[in-house]
Structure 1
């Protein structure tokens, strides 16, 4: 039984949900355990009941039952979150959105798709395969679109196509009172009214339950990949800054530090020099990229880089980006009994090299295996620790140091993973007391009884 509602209230809510959804709820141990955690390092906590609504109308009924009984509701997407946002740590209802999986509409001429919150990212792009369009936000995992809205997700394509906030045109949201609010429109821009869409994007289910999403699509670009090793981490980061200043169309650029390159050489199909390495994807016609290759090579060389290596064909490019996707899982497998703890800061690009180098020095002193990867084109990097249980206190200390360093540099505690449980304690330091007070006022206005994903995002009072 959860700690924050009475047994009578949760019992009444369970009875009402079982009556309303006889085939779509479960109080069984296995279902509750499945919804107790995500991919983060945070302690799992089981809900009292799991519900699988199939429509916005059914979500309305779930929320109304929760509101009537003052029972928490925690939305659950694919369970791939990294900051505990989907953990129902105050019990109550885990609202699983996986059956909100309909692709309602694809409008190729408008470059728009309207989908259910439970649609997975890869399934959407598969459905788009014959349109010449794609949805570019790629957090790595096959996350649900609703979950990506919840955390304000980003990923490897952000430097060219932006993050979720730039690619969500509208939402259908169920409020804490069980009302249905539709935000945005099919237009590509608007200056009409308050921007409710972006209020809900990144709110992690604390202000409303997202059930439908209208997305901006993009033409699939001509892309050419390359990679290069660098003598120093700083040189790799500075090369990216110089390439962006030169106006070259970077579609993706990913930093991998030397320890992670070693893992790739042991476990992957690529063979790289033992150096900090950048994986590039340049967008534009191949002839255009070829004409710029000399400029790119000069910038790389000026920053201590080796010669750019260009994959010979599409298969080699595929292997390059699959290597980036899989390398952290390979690193985890190298240490028996380890689990991962990823950090997620973002800083001004002018400070990125400094922050990355100081982080690497902290890791070297600690002796705990950790790997630095980053979407360095937008200042976002991750130091991913592979730790054993007895090392958690030290990793928590190191993780806090990374956040403090990022905030001191004018950055943020979370570039793309969200706040969830893990980053709440930094919110006032990052945003200031008055901003936090305003956020609390918004939360109280939209969720007066505090039933929507309680204990997330905002710091404790």
Structure 2
């Protein structure tokens, strides 16, 4: 049974009136207190309530960030970093009020070192814009969470996505960070060298910290050459288990697949209606292979052999960019495609991740819960690394419906943790999954996290009420 962390945050809030006067004096029209703007800078993507800040500050550079941090520190006011607002677990809510620090204007690409395969950017740069800038140099950044998130937000939530099975997650692709600490100091966590043994790995500490330890103002990212050949494909299966078993054998066989995505029959039906795909309404795998023309073709052929042994239908491949883009756009539009399944309901996405050998069991048991509880909850997943998502259609105005959805999500998390998995593979903790960390990590580990939080942020002004209560 999942047991919540029993600690609660102390009373927070500070002297907002004095802080707002200081911010207006220092930053002028970069400070906005409109109720509508504040509401837009709080949670809008899940069943969690919208908890707006008292003000929004638009930062242009590291100096602006230092100014805001200094004023929040002086007056004890909470500070919540904000990127594009696409996070899914209430990360940008302001439960104690305070300042939302909008970093979207810090969107400069500062340097691209093509020979070293890295770049330096500000946190407001979005994934799509970075790749548009890199394309002419034959480079790309592979982490693709679906939404056009800011790279600062992707670092802060330790994001992942469709390419993670080959290229890893954000923790594998961030080389260094510039961070404004809660005391106002600016630190750089590492150099651009690909490896180091010099001191604590502070880069990894801030990746996934969700703005609770400092504000990221520069990011050094690992880049990759655009593959010579990209082959995409789609393959139907009679059952979810057949599809999952194919994934497991493909990965265990060493096929270097770049993307391998599961869509259950409900999601396929929704995607057919939205994107006019015309696929059989059975579970499918969407795949992509990168390499030389011969290498990518060989990978696709090897996958097709494995899939055939698991009762798959015909594997259909495509290497024309327009065909590939249509396929993956349909996958990325999964959120929008499910809305017609229950008009008027809200789509609430949640995820878990388990060891690959337990993937089929976890997905099948989750499907059983969906059916027995009478839910509409399509399943999609970056299943090459054991990560999958459900998109629950919830009437958030109906307490009984919301309670049923919460029970389902709790059972999904309990199951994943029992299988030595995690409550979240890539969405992060925020407010929504704080209650599961004690069961996943244990009290001693949570206390170690709490010790780090207190050491970096003794006033608890940095995104309080997220990850761990102090």
Matched, 1:300 2:304: no
Unaligned runs of 5+ in 2: 1-9
Residue of structure 1 in register with 2:321 after alignment: 314
Unaligned runs of 5+ in 1: none
> What is the SS of the residue equivalent to 1:343?
strand
Other-structure match for 1:444: 454
From 88, 105, 126, the equivalent of 1:99 is: 105
Residue aligning to 1:132: 138
State the match for 1:428 in structure 2.
438
Q: What residue is the counterpart of 1:149 in the other structure?
A: 155
Q: Given the alignment, which residue of 20, 23, 35 partners 1:17?
A: 23
- Does structure 2 conserve the Cα–Cα contact (< 8 Å) formed by 1:38 and 1:86? no
Partner of 1:269: 276
Count of residue pairs brought into register by the alignment:
457
Q: Which of 55, 74, 85 is 1:49 aligned to?
A: 55
Q: Aligned to 1:337, what secondary structure does the other structure show?
A: coil
Describe the SS at the equivalent of 1:212: strand
Which string of whole-angstrom CA distances, capped at 9 and with x for unpartnered residues, describes residues 342-364 of structure 1?
A: 11100000001000000001001
How far has the Cα of 1:6 moved from its partner?
5.8
CA–CA distance in structure 1, aligned partners of residues 319 and 220 of structure 2: 37
CA RMSD of aligned residues (A): 1.3
Q: CA deviation at 1:269?
A: 2.6
Question: How far off is 1:438 after superposition?
Answer: 0.8
**Cα displacement string for residues 100-153 of structure 1 (whole angstroms, at most 9, x for unaligned residues):** 111111111111110011111111111111111101111100101110011000
Matches within 5 A, 1:391-430: 391-430=401-440
User: Does 2:293 match 1:286?
Assistant: yes
The partner residue of 1:66 within 57, 64, 72 is: 72
**8 Å Cα contact 1:40/1:81 also seen in 2:** no
Q: What's 1:355 paired with?
A: 362
- Larger mean Cα displacement after TM superposition, 221-230 or 149-158: 221-230
Distance in 2 between residues matched to 1:160 and 1:15, nearest whole Å: 50
1:194-227 deviation digits (Å, cap 9, x = unpaired): 0000000000000111111000001111210111
What's the counterpart of residue 118 of structure 1? 124
Q: 2: distance between equivalents of 1:248 and 1:160? A: 10
In structure 1, the partner of 2:82 is 76
Retained in 1: the 8 A contact 2:231–2:297?
A: no
CA contact (8 A) 1:249 1:284 kept: no
In 1, Cα distance between equivalents of 2:301 and 2:175: 39
Deviation, 1:312, is 6.2
2:231 counterpart SS class: strand
Shift of 1:179: 0.7
Question: Within 1, Cα distance between the matches of 2:151 and 2:174?
Answer: 10
1:376-396 C-alpha deviation (Å, 9 max, x unpaired): 000000011011122111000
Given candidates 15, 34, 39, the residue that maps to 1:33 is 39
Which residue matches 1:365?
Answer: 372
What is the rounded CA distance, in whole Å, between the counterparts of 2:333 and 2:297 in structure 1?
A: 29
Find out whether 1:195 has 2:205 as its counterpart.
Answer: no
Q: Deviations over 1:321-352 (max 9, x none)?
A: 11111123111133211111111100000001
Counterpart in the other structure of 2:234: 227
TM-score, scaled relative to structure 2: 0.95
Offset of residue 184 of structure 1: 1.1
CA distance in 2, matches of 1:312, 1:446: 49
How far off is 1:53 after superposition?
Answer: 1.2
2:173 is aligned to: 167
Larger relative CO (CA 8 A, sep 6+): 1 or 2?
2
Provide the rounded CA distance (Å) in 2 between the counterparts of 1:173 and 1:134. Answer: 24
Task: Pick which of 395-404 and 312-321 moved more.
Answer: 312-321
Which residue in 2 is equivalent to 1:345?
A: 352
